[in-house]
A and B are shown apart, each in its own frame.
Chain A
Amino acid sequence: MHELSLAESLIEQVERAVEAAGGGHVTALQLSIGALAGVDAAALRFGFDVAAQGTRLDGATLDITLLPVIIHCPSCDAGVELPDIQHFRCPRCGTPSLDVRQGRELTIETVEVLDETPSP
């Protein structure tokens, strides 16, 4: 299980980006997880909730988009989506391909930030 350490890295990355953009509290976070990234969304959510405590991401909702693997098929000369991650061949023509164009990523896409109310 490496989701907790991934959650920690992603929180650190978001904190840095938000600080650079003028600060504020993060209320939501959009993530993309590729099918081949080997990241368990439920474990990541759990790790995130724990690791976010006391940070500017505390209580933020995690919106996760799961991305299927897309390989480039040399025979069809096209990107094709794989129905699973066990068979690296074109579902249309059966040609094997290792040319992965999508599916390995774990990407922080956008965050929603609320400006902190100035202290009195």
Chain B
Amino acid sequence: MKPRVLEIRQGVFEKNDLLARDLRARFEAAGVTVFNLVSSPGAGKTLLLERTLTLLREGGLRPAALVGDVATENDAKRLARSGAPTRQIVTAGNCHLEAGMIGRHLEGWPLDDLDFLFIENVGNLVCPAHYDLGENARVVLLSVTEGEDKPLKYPPMFHSADAALITKIDLAEATGFDRAAVYEALESVRPGIETLELSARTGQGMEAWLDYLLRVRATSPLAAFASPAPGGEGTGA
């Protein structure tokens, strides 16, 4: 018997994209600005977030955090010390966060009372690249202790980001950090990417980072990786 051919023409990421669009609309309606923080494990997402939550609260703003982790709840406990509402998403082995997980963990949370929501993704430079979480901006962290060519090794992730943070900048000299090489790699994979250098430990560069957050809040741009509107063309970003 001859098989019949069935046209499907469906994207496998469509289900996530649909949920991400719903989330984006919810965030916009609630007036909360959302950042998706991505990096390899150990680049300093949690410390940066701890300091960021504290500084924003000192400035009279209302931040909150959703923290994705494969197995533990340690990060959420650390972040809760800032006084900001914090929830942990234990992915039980899953290597990335998906829009559906964000939606489920927002239940019962008064989004209207928040100014900023930070989503700390699972430490992984591959899988989270393809999952839109409804964020306003995706921020990729790269510490000076990592290789300068990381953007070239993980192009989908760096290409999908709206901003890059070079973290642990206080260690730059000690590690022989090659600044020019990093900027060149970033510019190659993601031309024009906004890049900031900071150290959450010493506080260096934190002011510029807060300025960036406020600027994104003021302009609420559409993230580079935002999923296209139904029936629309690509994101063009």
Binding site for B on A (CB under 8 A): 1-2, 5-6, 9-10, 13-14, 17-18, 21, 24, 27-28, 36-39, 85-89, 96-101, 104-115
Contact = CB atoms under 8 A, between A and B. Distances in A.
Question: Would you call the interface of chain B mostly helix, strand, loop, or mixed?
Answer: mixed
Contact of A37 (B130, B187, B191, B234): B130
A119 to B, nearest CB: 16
9 closest A-B pairs by beta carbon, nearest first, are A96-B191, A38-B156, A112-B3, A2-B127, A85-B155, A108-B8, A106-B12, A114-B3, A10-B12
B189 A86 contact: yes
B10 A13 contact: yes
Contact of B188 (A5, A88, A107, A110): A88
B3 A14 contact: no
Nearest to B130: A38
B11 A105 contact: yes
10 contacts: A24-B4, A38-B130, A88-B189, A98-B192, A98-B237, A100-B237, A101-B234, A108-B8, A109-B7, A111-B6
Contacts, number: 114
Contact of B6 (A17, A87, A89, A106): A17
Contacts of B8: 13-14, 17, 108-111
A110 B10 contact: no
Contact of A100 (B11, B94, B189, B234): B234
Interface residues of B, number: 36
Contacts of B13: 106
Contact of B9 (A36, A98, A107, A115): A107
B174 interface: no
Contacts of A104: 130, 234
A9 to B, nearest CB: 5
Given A14-B8, A113-B6, A98 B129 contact: no
A24 B152 CA distance: 44
A5 B191 contact: no
A22 to B, nearest CB: 9
Nearest to B149: A86
B226 to A, nearest CB: 12
A87 B188 contact: yes
Nearest to A12: B15
B24 interface: no
Given A5-B94, A88-B191, A36 B159 contact: yes
Contact of B1 (A1, A18, A88, A114): A114
B192 to A, nearest CB: 7
Contacts of B191: 88-89, 96-98
Contact of B236 (A6, A10, A38, A99): A99
A37 B5 CA distance: 25
Given A38-B157, A108-B12, A115-B4, 13 more contacts: A2-B130, A13-B12, A14-B8, A37-B130, A86-B189, A88-B159, A96-B191, A98-B191, A108-B9, A110-B5, A110-B6, A112-B3, A112-B5
